Structure 1
């Protein structure tokens, strides 16, 4: 992994945050929500703004949002589907929620729409969950939330009660439930899964690859794990991937990103001994081997950050905290880290080289106009990314 650049060239930058949500669409990174620390207070970020980062030009923009604006919150779960960003769950000033919202990212209006389901029952309120997208449907897994006493069954191991957190007939805890939302029908369903499901958990990481959903690690009651489980979306069969190599240490608040149909990229998180992590690993789900990878951001531990797939199998990590947020909670970040997981195509290598060096090389400047129109346009866009850094401001 020899990419060593960090996005820093824009005058306008998104605010520091953790517990936010982010998606990538057409080389644009969309960031919404989360929270930051102000003095000794935890402050939710504005719910009526969305930050957009141009991954090619290295420029941030912020847009005002209207419509059925969700409450300001953290720990919500987002995904990109058919030009829209969907969010579900999360924690606001009133606790966990189980509402679902969507916003069109392509019409330039950024109008939120609250979805009222017409079929089925929504999952119980929760945050720190994850989701997969498969054949136009969103599949949600796990999380931490609350249920009424009448909705809990101690014989049912899909919900483990947090004995330290219950008030007046309301119980909080971890779950391993699978719920499916179909946007075309505005319907919720709960498929019957088979096999041995992962233990109930929250603050885990998940990714979709090759028609399967993968779950890695997370908070399982009072511990943090690094186990990997796979859900086949055709048979709804759970299976556990038992690695045949060294494995990452247990963690929560990390990310898992598919970089191919058989390879998953893990980054960061909070370790079993509450240490913010900066290690990166690749898992080959076919050979069941983990491989730790070198990268230029070893001095940038992150937890409760976001990670999105970019072009050429890049992974874009944004925000998060570099501290153990339950104790310090002051190290929220606003930088975007670009991880290269595979060799770049020759055309990208050439475009980046020219864009990075054209200002300091007279020969390149003199011959720039000789490039084919399409290549010239790409190079000029990348020149914006590599322009000299200016003072950042909010």
Structure 2
């Protein structure tokens, strides 16, 4: 979601004839997050109508949340999420905001490495012209993420500054567009129901039937509404996809002739662009495979043709983008930890290296032992996402805007308080549904094995 913000910022600055491609590590943190979200949003989208309603709702709420942030920042002249927390609640507020952002970024890193774990073996398998994984160590995703982390990500994460960030953001946007075009193109080249030559494809929904390896005709009908055990993850994942709020204020500082109105316009354009990309990708992905979409959309295409050249190119682009973005996400996490643990200490290479190594070690453990990217998206989307979108902006607004400007019982503050309360409700409901799904899923798994 942040990527659209940066792109819109560039357009506005260009129109002012003051465009600059300069960037630092604060401004490019989660540039490939949308690719990961798009891969999952296409699955269990609660059918066409319900998905559209949810997507529009989250987009509108996200825009309102940015309005609250910009209003709070404008009152006190602060353009950092953590500093707003410090202004609202003192040091505890700063630490809370930093911890929530850190948790969110750790979830982002885990998502990126999970993509490497799941997609890199398939790329190697395709280059070796293998139609299935034959079990060699170099086709084991757990080994591959350790190798990639040690050989590529760790050296980049040890740099004192990342100078390639501007190129990473541009490449990430290109990957998103390429991914979208490929999904639309494949919709008109893959038949439904799949023929016998695609007998390896089986639907994931329990209520669909497969006869002689072919999905029946009823399976290829779009549904306006549907619910299943995975619906609990839909709203958290959509919220996760629209989180850009920690980057809004730093990007605000780069906007030429910065005003709240101009920055809100930049944010609205960004949200609209991401909304269109999410909608089209999820729509065409769903209309290609319907209920047979896997938790990662690219995996579903591989079950049709493991050696498809277009899908292989998309995989390579996504892998390069996510691999280069992991160090970008690691930098703000390390900075937040340094501010919390060593606020007044000078730069030390030993601390710099130790934090990077420990973070990568922790994230690798999460990726190795977490069975599905759905769990990462769902859990982070149900905790950090509502905090960053709903709870903190609403509370900051109520606490920071002085009563001389807006009384405590004024309509804007009441709306902000209700907005924060909505975030708490959303968090509790989402976590409850996800935990119930975990428990019932484990019960089914235990009974079936």
TM range, normalised to the smaller chain? Answer: under 0.3
- Structure in which a larger fraction of residues adopt strand: 1
Structure number with the bigger relative contact order (C-alpha 8 A, sep ≥ 6) is 2
